[in-house]
Amino acid sequence: MMHSSVFSKIIHREIYANILYQDELVTAFCDISPKAPIHILIVPNVVIPTINHVTIEHEAILGRMLTTAAKIAKQEGIAEDGYRLILNCNRHAGQEIYHVHMHLLGGCALGPIISLY
């Protein structure tokens, strides 16, 4: 079967990623180009291109993304020290893959969120 995003291909095991967790709603796998010692992406199993496309029907998926992040943070041993969750939307945020994904970053002090003005 052909899938429309690189993340769909990962979800359906058409290309390799280090998958840490998968259930009927979401999949979590290691980012290919980590920006912190721990950098995991948590994605819906269905393609939602951007956060602008989410509807009330996606609330269960979005909630599962957060509970999955908390579960993985605990598994990875970073829950107590803390971590950052990021969702990029469209070009001003630098979104590269048009399949909603939440970045889970941790494993070191991440510093303040950068102010650009």
Enzyme catalytic residues: 101
Q: Copy the structure tokens of residue 45.
A: 């199993």
Which residue lies nearer to ligand AMP by CB, 33 or 56? Answer: 33
Q: How many CB atoms lie within 10 A of CB 39?
A: 16
Residue 60, both tokens? 């269960």
Tokens of 29: 């796998």
Instruction: Give the count of residues interacting with ligand AMP (CB under 6 A).
Output: 11
Among 62, 85, 88, 107, binds ligand AMP (CB under 6 A): 88
Applying CB under 6 A, among 17, 43, 48, 61 the residue interacting with ligand AMP is 17
Minimum CB separation of residue 10 from ligand AMP in Å reads 6
**Would you count residue 85 as binding ligand AMP (CB under 6 A)?**
no
Beta strands in the chain (DSSP E): 19-22, 26-30, 38-44, 83-86, 102-106
Which positions lie near ligand AMP, rule CB under 6 A?
6, 17, 31-33, 41, 88, 94-97
